[in-house]
C-alpha cells in the first residue's frame, strides 16, 4: 500500500494504559522503519486538534481496556470520518461486556463457562450459597468490563469474600465456573483463521503478570498439540464468534480445553502488539511479518469504512 500518514492512538486512562503505550510504541517503531509518517497521540482534549493538524489517512487504535475497546472511543472516532482500525462501536461494546458476549455465545451454541452476575451494591450475604447451588467452587471472579485479565481471581469458598473486596471499585462482577485444563488462544484475521497457540503459565492461570511480565516465563507452544480435527474445531469456533459479534480486523479468542471440550472465555477485539503479544507470534508462525500484519490491519480499516 502507499505510505500514508498514520495516527496511533494509545495510552488512555484504563488499567491497561502501560500495555497500550507499549503496543503504540511497537507499532510506531515498525511503521517508521518502513517510511510511514506517524504521530502517537493520547485520547485527551487535544485529540481533535491533533487530528485536524496531522490529517491522518488512518487512525490505528492501540488503546486497550475501558474507553479504548468498549465502543466509547469508537463512537468519538466515527465523528471524524477517518478510517480507524479494529472493530466498530457495537462489536467493541458487545465483546467488552463479558455478560452480553456470553449470552450471544450461548444463543449460538458456543460453549462457555456457566456464570452468575453479582451486583456489588446489593447484599452479598447469600453469595456463597448461590455459587454452591448454581456453579460449585472453585470459581473465577472478574469485572464485567475489563481486559488483559485485570483483577481476575480464582476463588474457593474460603477466600471468595476476601477477593470480592479487592473488586469493590466495580459495581458489577462476573462469577464464572472455573474450568481447568489447557489455555489455548486463537487469532482471526478478517476472514482468515490465522492459527492457535497454547500457553503454559508458571502461575495458576494466564493472568496479567503471565501475559505481560517476561519474568513470569509463560511457555508458548506453537503449533499446538491438537489433532487436525480439534484444531479445525477451535478455529471454527473462534471464527464463528468473530462473525456473530460483528468484529472486523484482527481478534483473539481465549479458550480452555478440558475433557475434550473447548470453552470460549472471551473474544478480544484489540489484541496487544507488544513483544510478548500472541497475535503477532501466531502471524509470524504462518509467515506474516509484523509489518505485514500491521499493514493488513490498516488496509482492512480502509476497506471497511
Say whether both 208 and 251 belong to one domain. Answer: yes
- Whether residue 272 lies in the annotated active site: yes
Distance CA 89, CA 31 (A): 26
Q: Is 36 considered catalytic here? A: no
Query: Annotated catalytic, 266?
Result: yes
Listed residues 129, 160, 177: the one ending a domain: 177
pTM of this structure: 0.90
Residue after which a domain boundary falls, among 86, 103, 131: 86
Domain of 128, CATH number, reads 3.30.1490.20
Looking at residue 149, its pLDDT comes to 60
Is the domain of 51 the same as that of 129? Answer: no
160 shares its domain with 200: no
For residues 198 and 233, membership in a common domain is answered with yes
105: domain CATH number? 3.30.470.20
| CB-based contact 59:84 (threshold 8 Å) | yes
- Mean pLDDT, to the nearest integer, of 151-173? 89
Q: Residue 240: is its pLDDT beyond 70?
A: yes
Residue 274's pLDDT is what? 84
Is residue 252 flagged as an active site residue? yes
Average pLDDT value over all residues in the chain: 90
**Domain end among 154, 177, 200:** 177
Nearest residue to 58 (alpha-carbon basis) of 230, 298, 303: 298
Residue 112 has pLDDT above 90, yes or no: yes
For 29-33, 156-160, 289-293, which range has the lowest pLDDT when averaged over its residues?
156-160
Q: Is 212 a catalytic residue?
A: yes
Q: What is the DSSP letter of 207?
A: -
H or E element at residue 58:
strand 58-61
> Which residue out of 92, 93, 149, 268 is catalytically annotated?
268
Over the stretch 6-63, which tens digit does the pLDDT of each residue have? Answer: 999 999 988 889 999 999 999 999 999 999 999 999 999 999 999 999 999 999 999 9
Question: Is residue 297 packed enough to be buried (19+ CB in 10 Å), middle (13-18) or exposed (0-12)?
Answer: buried
**What is residue 150's predicted lDDT score, i.e. its pLDDT?**
67
Which of 148, 149, 253, 277 is labelled catalytic? 148
Residues 205 and 296 in one domain: yes
Same domain, 195 and 233: yes
Say whether both 289 and 257 belong to one domain: yes
In this prediction, residue 231 carries a pLDDT of 98
What's the pLDDT tens digit per position in 179-230? 999 999 999 999 999 999 999 987 555 444 544 445 557 899 999 999 999 9
Is the domain of 106 the same as that of 227?
Answer: yes
pLDDT surpasses 60 at 132 = yes
- Note the pLDDT of residue 236: 98
> What was the pLDDT predicted at 66?
85
Of 3-17, 109-123, 135-149, 168-182, which range is least confident?
135-149
The catalytic position among 101, 266, 277, 300 is: 266
Give residue 119's pLDDT band: very low, low, confident or very high (50, 70, 90): confident
Identify which of 240, 226, 246, 236 has the alpha carbon closest to the alpha carbon of residue 184: 226
| 254 labelled catalytic | yes
**Count: domains in the chain:** 3
Q: Which of 293, 273, 291, 208 is nearest to 22 (CA)?
A: 273
pLDDT score for 299: 95
The CB-based long-range contact list for 237-242 (8 Å cut-off, 24+ gap) reads 237/110, 237/186, 237/262, 237/264, 238/186, 238/187, 238/188, 238/193, 238/264, 238/267, 239/188, 239/193, 240/108, 240/110, 241/105, 241/110, 241/267, 242/188, 242/267
- Which residue would you say has higher pLDDT here, 103 or 274? 103
Domain with residue 26: its CATH number is 3.40.50.20
Q: What are the φ/ψ torsions at residue 284 (nearest 5 degrees)?
A: -60, -40
Which one of the listed residues 12, 97, 195, 252 is annotated catalytic? 252
Distance CA 109, CA 27 (A): 36
> Is residue 172 scored above 90 in pLDDT?
no
The answer on 184 and 297 residing in a single domain is: yes
For 250-284, the pLDDT digits (tens) are 999 999 999 999 999 999 999 999 877 999 999 99
Rounded CA gap, 8 and 25, in Å? 9
221 with 133, same domain: the answer is no
Catalytic residue among 249, 257, 272, 277: 272
The active-site residue, picked from 254, 257, 277, 300, is: 254
Residue 249 domain boundaries: 94-111+180-303
CA distance linking residue 287 with residue 51, whole number of Å: 34
Active site residue 148: yes
pLDDT at 168: 85
pLDDT score for 217: 73
Residues 35 and 81 in one domain: yes
Q: For the ranges 89-103, 132-146, 198-212, 213-227, which has the lowest average pLDDT?
A: 198-212
d(CA 297, CA 72) in angstroms, rounded, equals 20
236 and 101 fall within a common domain: yes
Picking from 37, 33, 113, the residue whose alpha carbon sits closest to that of residue 291 is 33
Cβ atoms of 255 and 185 within 8 Å: the answer is yes
Q: For the chain, what percent of residues have pLDDT higher than 90?
A: 75
Q: Which of 262, 243, 266 is nearest to 254 (CA)?
A: 266
Within 10 Å of residue 244's Cβ, how many Cβ atoms? 17
How much is the pLDDT for 106?
97
- Among all chains, which residue has been given the C-alpha cell 467452587? 137
Amino acid at each position: 500500500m502507499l505510505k500514508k500518514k498514520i495516527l496511533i492512538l494509545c495510552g488512555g486512562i484504563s488499567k491497561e494504559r502501560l500495555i497500550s503505550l507499549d503496543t503504540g510504541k511497537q507499532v510506531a517503531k515498525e511503521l517508521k522503519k518502513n517510511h510511514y509518517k506517524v504521530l502517537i497521540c493520547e485520547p485527551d482534549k487535544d485529540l481533535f486538534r491533533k487530528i485536524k493538524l496531522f490529517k491522518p489517512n488512518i487512525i490505528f487504535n492501540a488503546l486497550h481496556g475501558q474507553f479504548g475497546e468498549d465502543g466509547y472511543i469508537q463512537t468519538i472516532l466515527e465523528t471524524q470520518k477517518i478510517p480507524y482500525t479494529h472493530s466498530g462501536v457495537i462489536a467493541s461494546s458487545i465483546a467488552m461486556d463479558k455478560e452480553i458476549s456470553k449470552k450471544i455465545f450461548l444463543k449460538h451454541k458456543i460453549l462457555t463457562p456457566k456464570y452468575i452476575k453479582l451486583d456489588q451494591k446489593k447484599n452479598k450475604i447469600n453469595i456463597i450459597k448461590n455459587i454452591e447451588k448454581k456453579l460449585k467452587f472453585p470459581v473465577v471472579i472478574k469485572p464485567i468490563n475489563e481486559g488483559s485479565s485485570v483483577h481476575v481471581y480464582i476463588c474457593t469458598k474460603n477466600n471468595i469474600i476476601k477477593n470480592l473486596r479487592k473488586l469493590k471499585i466495580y459495581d458489577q462482577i462476573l462469577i464464572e465456573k472455573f474450568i481447568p485444563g489447557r489455555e489455548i488462544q486463537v487469532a482471526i484475521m478478517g476472514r482468515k483463521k490465522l492459527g492457535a497457540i497454547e500457553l503454559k503459565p508458571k502461575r495458576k492461570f494466564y493472568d496479567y503478570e503471565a501475559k505481560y511480565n517476561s519474568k513470569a516465563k509463560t511457555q508458548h507452544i506453537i503449533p499446538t498439540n491438537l489433532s487436525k480435527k480439534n484444531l479445525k474445531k477451535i478455529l471454527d469456533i473462534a471464527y464463528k464468534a468473530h462473525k456473530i459479534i460483528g468484529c472486523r480486523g484482527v481478534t483473539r479468542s481465549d479458550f480452555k480445553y478440558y475433557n475434550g471440550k473447548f470453552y470460549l472465555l472471551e473474544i478480544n477485539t484489540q489484541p496487544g502488539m507488544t513483544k510478548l503479544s500472541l497475535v503477532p507470534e501466531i502471524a509470524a508462525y504462518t509467515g506474516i511479518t509484523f509489518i505485514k500484519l500491521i499493514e493488513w490491519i490498516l488496509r482492512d480499516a480502509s476497506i471497511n469504512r
